[in-house]
């Protein structure tokens, strides 16, 4: 993996050289790129070898040229996203970028765990975004086939040689705390009703009643994996807006709020992982702000810092990476 960011001129040259690319960058940069074998999404936040940064001048490149025996780029809306697995190659992976809060994002977030054969091949990706102060004013976009979209997911399906195998890993430093379990009556993004200790209330009201720390997610155990649901509090409307879905019959807990040296814990958890086999990595903007990752390096990795992560499911506040290794 090339752990760096590139200029507009450098990326334009890669495209003209017929490279197979997934790109992340500011909308004004992506709009200036020539047509070619690439797709992408908007985001101005990045991990880089010289630390986390906000930049509108550089583009992150995930280059799959040397790995892709074949590839195809497909766009999806809320009606077609459930067919994403049917377009996969037998041995390979799918890279998906979704626009936040759009119907396709909503549909994938709620129903992806139930898509037929969703776990057959790695499905990895992220949610596009904008500078946080502009969220709600500027619309995040996705790009494919020379076009930009506000309401479509874009995916690159890649076929790997038979001697290579892709896998997805997630790294989540949050753990469920010892709070009272929180339950939700239905799956989705509605937090207006939850059940806590036999009492019905909104998630915002529960957060306020226990003086919760807004920076930290609620966490559930999904078949042995700790999965986060991050929230942005709207105090004026008294709503906790969540950016990953909740599911019924699942216990959610306030995350442990102990102070975490994210960079040190990250290095310890990643351990002796061969980062040269990591061909894509992304982290969450909530982690970027919560743990002050601006200027901090994470094992010399580069990648977008996003409005959500995808590892088969829609995730929050989670580091996700794609590894490609010999069989």
SS3 content of the chain, % helix, strand, coil (to 5): 20, 40, 45
At 3 the pLDDT is 65
Q: What is the share, in percent, of the chain residues with pLDDT greater than 70?
A: 99
d(CA 209, CA 15): 53
d(CA 32, CA 9): 10
- Residues contacting residue 151 through CB under 8 Å, at least 6 positions apart: 77, 99, 102, 103, 104
Q: What is the share, in percent, of the chain residues with pLDDT greater than 90?
A: 83
d(CA 144, CA 154): 6
Q: Using the predicted structure, report yes or no on whether residue 260 has a pLDDT greater than 80.
A: no
The answer to whether 15 and 36 have CB atoms below 8 angstroms apart is yes
Q: To 10 degrees, the CA torsion angle through 8, 10, 11, 12?
A: 80
Q: Using the predicted structure, report yes or no on whether residue 2 has a pLDDT greater than 70.
A: no
Q: What is the mean pLDDT of the chain?
A: 94
- Residues contacting residue 52 through CB under 8 Å, at least 6 positions apart: 45, 46, 288, 293, 294, 295, 296, 297, 298, 305
At 165 the pLDDT is 96
Structure tokens at 273: 């992982």
Q: Which residues pair with 127 in a beta bridge?
A: 98
Q: Using the predicted structure, report yes or no on whether residue 1 has a pLDDT greater than 70.
A: no
At 271 the pLDDT is 81
Start-end of H helices in 114-163: none
At 280 the pLDDT is 95
At 223 the pLDDT is 78
d(CA 182, CA 240): 14
| Residue 29: count of CB within 10 angstroms of its CB | 22
Query: Helix (H) and strand (E) counts for the chain?
Result: 6, 26
| Residue 198: count of CB within 10 angstroms of its CB | 6
* 167-183 confidence digits (pLDDT tens): 999 999 899 998 899 99
* 155-167 confidence digits (pLDDT tens): 999 999 999 999 9
d(CA 227, CA 172): 8
At 146 the pLDDT is 85
Least confident among 3-12, 37-46, 65-74:
3-12
* 272-284 confidence digits (pLDDT tens): 788 888 999 999 9
């Amino acid at each position: 993996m090339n752990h760096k960011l590139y200029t507009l001129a450098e990326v334009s040259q890669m495209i003209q050289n017929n490279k197979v690319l997934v790109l992340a960058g500011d909308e004004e940069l992506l709009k200036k790129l020539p047509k070619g074998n690439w797709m992408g999404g908007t985001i101005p936040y990045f991990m880089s070898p010289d630390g986390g940064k906000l930049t509108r001048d550089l583009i992150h490149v995930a280059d799959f040229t040397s790995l892709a025996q074949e590839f195809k780029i497909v766009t999806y809306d809320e009606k077609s996203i459930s067919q994403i697995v049917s377009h996969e190659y037998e041995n390979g992976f799918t890279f998906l970028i979704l626009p936040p809060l759009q119907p396709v994002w909503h549909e994938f977030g709620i129903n992806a765990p139930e898509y037929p054969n969703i776990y057959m091949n790695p499905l990895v990706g992220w949610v596009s975004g904008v500078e946080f102060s502009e969220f709600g004013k500027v619309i995040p976009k996705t790009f494919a086939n020379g076009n930009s979209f506000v309401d479509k997911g874009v995916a690159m399906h890649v076929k790997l040689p038979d001697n290579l195998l892709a896998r997805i890993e997630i790294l989540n430093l949050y753990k469920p705390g010892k709070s009272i379990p929180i339950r939700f009556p239905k799956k989705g993004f509605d937090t207006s009703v939850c059940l806590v200790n036999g009492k019905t209330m909104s998630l915002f009201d529960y957060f306020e009643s226990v003086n919760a720390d807004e920076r930290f997610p609620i966490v559930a155990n999904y078949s042995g994996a700790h999965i986060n649901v991050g929230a942005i509090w709207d105090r004026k409307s008294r709503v906790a807006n969540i950016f990953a879905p909740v599911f019924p019959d699942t216990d959610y807990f306030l995350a442990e709020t102990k102070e975490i040296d994210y960079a040190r814990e990250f290095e310890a958890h990643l351990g002796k992982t061969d980062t040269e086999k990591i061909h894509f990595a992304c982290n969450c903007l909530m982690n970027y702000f919560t743990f002050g990752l601006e200027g901090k390096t994470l094992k010399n990795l580069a990648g977008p810092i996003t409005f959500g992560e995808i590892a088969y499911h829609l995730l929050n506040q989670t580091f996700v990476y794609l590894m490609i290794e010999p069989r």
